Structure 1
Amino acid sequence: MLDLLVSGGTVVEGDGGPPYPADVAIEGERIVAVEPLPGATARRHLDARGHFVLPGLIDPHSHSDWSILGNPEAQSTIRQGVTTEVVGNCGVTYAPLGPESARQAAATLAAFGYDGPVDWRGFGELLQRVESIGTSQNLAWFVGHSALREAAGVGTGSPGDDELATMRALLAEALDAGALGMSSGLEYGAGRAAGTGELTDLAGVLRLHGARYASHIRNRDAALDEAVEEFFTVTRAAGGRAQLSHLNVREDTGAAPDAWQRAVERLAAERAAGTDVLADMTPYDGGIGMATGLLPPWLLADGPEEAARQLADPAVRNRLRGDCDRYWRFVHRGGWDRVRLQAGPATPELEGLAFPEIAERLGGDEWDAFFDVLAAAGPDLAAVQLLGRLFTDEHVAETVSHPLFCLGVDAFTSRVDGPLAARSRHPLFFAGHVHYLAHHVRDKGILTLETAVHKMTAMVADHFGLAGRGRLRRGAFADVAVVDLAGLRERSTVAEPHAYAHGVPYVIVNGAVVVDGHDHTGVRTGCYLPRGR
């Protein structure tokens, strides 16, 4: 007798082939058959008639490591059929930690719903902490380059020989713990201060370990060509395994009309020449961003608390008005109406509001409002996050349909209650994954179902070396999502974001039913997916 049988559904295998009718038989944590099985018996039977049966979705670019300690059931993502997330992106991870970054990590993680101690320092110790509480989804991790800088005491400065040696050692420790590789975030924080030479030096450690480089590149606006060139310089030093994170061009930021096209042509040429590289994109016209990305290095040089203190000085503010033209450059063209406050540790009453409304409440203009929010955050200034309307619909469509782009969400798993709800005021957190299926596939026809599923499953698993994941086939791990495509509803809106998606009645992780009749069972059968194992 089988442990579990998913019967009567239409299977989308994950390889990009057409859907076909089949049952999925599971014993233990593995799939043992994908074929019609009339008369088969099982201890548990799931009726998938009228539904599609997919491999569990895999997010190639997630920040759920920020929220998993406060939301180990992965409520918002698991209910969308996401069974694996690749985390630790954009250079920002909460390990390794030094004395100062540990304090900042504790404050930020508390805002994300974690009330336990931040008593780890090494990357492997963080993984052990997460494993000790259990998670509903599988996690594969990058270690953040900015975290390496902070732990080594470099911050936003330039590393000396000893500090660079410490960064190499911390990176090697994380890779020995099974990290996929190193991610960088070069538009904000400590990562922005890194030169190409520092990155290529660390990339040598990646090469020795057969690991991967992922990067939120330095400039996706006016200097996209140079940023892509730097990315491939570091990628070559790392041995040619890389992920170009959310490769897009924000609307009205000074980018040349053909900048994105040149970038993807370079991506295709590098891949054709043997580089193991892909890119990813997000599902909506908007996304989250770090408020400190707009700030110049001179303000951040002495740390966040000192930067917040300086923001009380009118002369500093006046100087900043002409020296914040970076990151979301459309704000310098009058685009503050495109920006909402996603997270303000000291100003929760303003979260979710657009900056023109914040300015009206606080007095002054939008720049004053921006500086007020940052100044109020004090030592937690780096935790201030924004939500922006970044892209045109046409640009989103061309990116998600490009054959070298995986489909990610660039957000974190959340929930409709508790501290995380206040940090998740956008459909991105509750419906980003099903938006690909409901909007881009079903409603707009931008992608076929089999292509979208491939970009969200096998394509990701193969690229990141997640063995046995991403396909419905005999011998694979039993990560499965049953999806009612016709009945799929996002439910979360900008006005009322806190609602779980509907239309994924069953989700299985490593052979256990985690979502049953649209309800979370509380099961935490997810596991850590170390590199190469």
Structure 2
Amino acid sequence: MTTTGPTVASPAVQLALVGGSVVDGTGKARIRTDIGISGDRIAVLGSGPWDAAETVDITGLTVTPGFIDPHSHSDWSILGNRDAQSTIRQGVTTEIVGNCGVTYGPLSDATAPAAQRALRGYGYYGDVDWRSFPALLRAVHETDGGTAQNLAWLVGHTALREAAGLRGSDVTADGRNTMLRLLDEALDAGALGLSTGLEYGAGREASTGELIEVTSALRRYDGIYASHIRNRDADLLPAVEEFLTVASTHQLRAQLSHLNVRYDTGAPTGAWHDAVEKLRAARERGLDILADMTPLCDGIGLATGLLPAWLLDEGYAEAARRLEDPHLRARVRKDCDRYWRFVHRGQWERVGLLRSPGLPEAEGTSIPELARKRGQDCWDTYFDLLVAAGPDMADVQLLGRLFTPEHVAEAVSHPLFCLGVDGFTTQLGGRLADRTRHPLFFTGHTHYLAHHVLRRQTVELEEAVWKMTGMVADRFGLAGRGRVVPGAFADLAVVDLKRLADEDTETYRGAYARGVPHVLVNGTFVVRDGVHLGTRTGRFLPRG
């Protein structure tokens, strides 16, 4: 490590962090330097003595920019967990939310009751009295003291479709215009762009032509297109081609969400490498595209993604009614070779139940274990979970063993991949805790450092921090974030690398992450000496 000399003679700062090292989020080597903070900004890097209102000794610790999750679903749980307990304690100061097409705004009068029920499952018991996307932003950021962490938002394509009352693949001119109006409204309010979820729900009904028409609005705003693509197994490459077609038609900035391949699902040999090569070649042609990856072999999935489209044609309530028929169940079993295709191959041991609106007492149980308790086979247990959810069938969530360690490591270290978690912020105790007993939610972010950097050396510390901070800030246009440099916002994680090296980040321990004793958001401590202070200095980060 090298040492910086003083850059300003005895400057006056409000807060000085002294004695530590800095990994600045640019990819440059770690340096030994102190940090002076004034207001919400980093005022100076160097070495004192400084005229500081408060000085905190962080000798032996390492300061990084606050981590920025490029692919979060914390918009689902933030109303029930404004303190962002599980994520802020890992050093996550900003989350890009609204991914995979699913946002609880815009809403229509027809879709608001389902949103109300879904949000109660995430610990929010207030009224869903908003309808527009801007009103959702106000509900999150302008009530109840705001949030502990910064949030930057995408608006979901599925939400646009449902708010417009659209079904099926044939979209009328009126339907398209309604979606475009709702998208413009969200972008005017500061949304970063549009997300799609094309493997399930209303998203999978959308044609490529529809996606091209709707994303035309993004060009006017320089909005980003983030896509959970249509397939990540046997048809991965056509799905990537569709993503590139949509992005290139309007020359959009585009993010391919969690570009990974589930193992033993029929993907051609070398499919992931071929997909990444397509991205690299498109970048060489001038298309501004990147991807992101998750830290663990496990991931969240929507149970309805397994179902054939014909079963869902008349809505979830009718699908639940029909699934009570044993003869129809037999037909559906034969037509479920999609999404998590390993289930169709009988590998239910890879699946656990994360969320069940109809049978909440079953959450946290593996499907085989639940089937044994119920005296059923796994398919009938799966169908019963959907039937019990009825009109809220889309909220049944699974947790699956999806990827091999080798595949995860290869993607984590790839230069085209930002590092995210694809989870949501949670807490110990209450409704949220009941369904998030998994390390993905509590140590997913610190796992990158503890496992991939310190234990396995999958990636160097400076590169990992860059992929979790500066790279993400650049990708989503978050000015002044993601770097420890003078003038930047003082979103900081103070990390104990020695402790993280010994931290078990692959086992749920019923505790918050250790190894990040201090976290500052916009210049103010939210976590200090491992204690969450209840501070809510997070901000809405609009586009531009």
- Structure 1 partner of 2:542: 530
- The residue number in structure 1 matching 2:406 is 394
Partner Cα distance (1:83, 1:45) in 2: 22
Greater alpha carbon shift after TM alignment, 500-509 vs 44-53 = 44-53
Match in the other structure for 1:230: 242
Matched, 1:70 2:74: no
**Counterpart in 2 of 1:31?**
42
Question: Structure 1 residue 355: deviation in Å?
Answer: 1.1
1:20-99 aligned within 5 A: 20-37=31-48, 39-99=49-109
Asked if the contact 1:304/1:378 (under 8 Å) is kept, the reply is yes
Q: Map 1:122-133; keep pairs closer than 5 Å.
A: 122-132=132-142, 133=144
Is the deviation greater in 483-492 or in 240-249? 483-492
1:21–1:36 Cα contact (<8 Å) kept: no
Aligned residue identity for 1:60: P
- The alpha-carbon deviation at position 491 of structure 1 amounts to 5.3
In structure 2, what is the equivalent of residue 161 of structure 1? 173
State the shift of 1:100 in Å.
2.3
Q: Equivalent residues in 2 for 1:109-148 (5 A)?
A: 109-132=119-142, 133=144, 134-148=146-160
Q: In the TM superposition, what are the counterparts of 1:338-417 in structure 2 within 5 Å?
A: 338-417=350-429
Q: What is the Cα deviation at residue 140 of structure 1?
A: 0.5
Q: Is the 8 A contact 2:447 2:505 kept in 1?
A: no
- Find the aligned partners of 2:197 and 2:394 in 1 and give their Cα distance: 13
Aligned to 1:187: 199
AA aligned to 1:83 is T
- The answer to whether the 8 A contact 1:340-1:353 is kept is yes
Q: How big is each residue's C-alpha offset from its partner over 1:364-387, in whole Å with a ceiling of 9 and x where there is no partner?
A: 211001001110111111110000
Code of the residue aligned with 1:479 in structure 2: it is D
Answer yes or no: is 1:208 the counterpart of 2:220: yes
Count of aligned positions? 530
Q: Contact conserved, 2:98 with 2:155, CA < 8 A, in 1?
A: yes
Counterpart residue type for residue 398 of structure 2: L
Letter in structure 1 aligned against 2:201: G
Residue type of the alignment partner of 1:131: H
Whole-angstrom distance in 2 between the partners of 1:383 and 1:510:
34
Tell me, yes or no, if the aligned pair for 1:278 and 1:405 is still in contact at 8 Å: yes
Cα separation, 2, equivalents of 1:393 and 1:401: 12
Partner in structure 1 of residue 6 of structure 2: none
Q: What is the CA-CA distance between 1:423 and the residue it aligns to?
A: 2.1
| 1:258-273 superposed matches below 5 A | 258-273=270-285
SS in 2 for 1:236: helix
TM value normalised by structure 2: 0.96
Which residue number corresponds to residue 472 of structure 1?
484
What are the Cα deviations for residues 371-428 of structure 1, in whole angstroms up to 9, with x where unaligned?
Answer: 0111011111111000000000000000000000000000000001111101212100
Q: 1:102 aligns with which of 96, 112, 122?
A: 112
Deviation at 1:49, TM superposition (A): 0.7
Distance in 2 between the 1:406 and 1:14 partners? 13
User: For 2:24 and 2:506, how far apart are their aligned partners in 1?
Assistant: 31
Q: What's 2:532 paired with?
A: 520
Question: Post-superposition shift, 1:316?
Answer: 1.2
Does residue 1:8 correspond to 2:56, yes or no? Answer: no
Structure-to-structure mapping, 1:422-433, within 5 angstroms: 422-433=434-445
SS in 1 for 2:479: coil
Q: Secondary structure at the match of 2:383?
A: helix
| 8 Å Cα contact 1:207-1:237 kept in structure 2 | no
Q: Distance in 1 between matches of 2:119 and 2:465?
A: 32
Residues 197, 20 of structure 1: CA spacing in aligned structure 2 closer, same or farther, 3 A cutoff? same
Contact 1:215 1:243 in 2 (8 A): yes
Contact 1:6–1:46 under 8 Å retained in 2 = yes
Q: Which runs of 5+ in 2 are unaligned?
A: 1-11
In structure 2, what is the Cα distance between the partners aligned to 1:109 and 1:28?
35
**Rounded Cα–Cα distance in structure 2 between residues aligned with 1:497 and 1:318:** 40
Structure 2 CA distance, aligned partners of 1:115 and 1:493?
Answer: 32
Among 313, 316, 321, the alignment partner of 2:325 is 313
Paired amino acid for 1:116: G
User: Which amino acid is 1:122 matched to?
Assistant: S
How far the C-alpha of 1:302 sits from its partner, in A, is: 1.2
Q: Give me the TM-score of the superposition, normalised by structure 1.
A: 0.98
2:306·2:340 contact (CA, 8 Å) conserved in 1?
yes
Correspondent of 1:461 among 468, 473, 481: 473
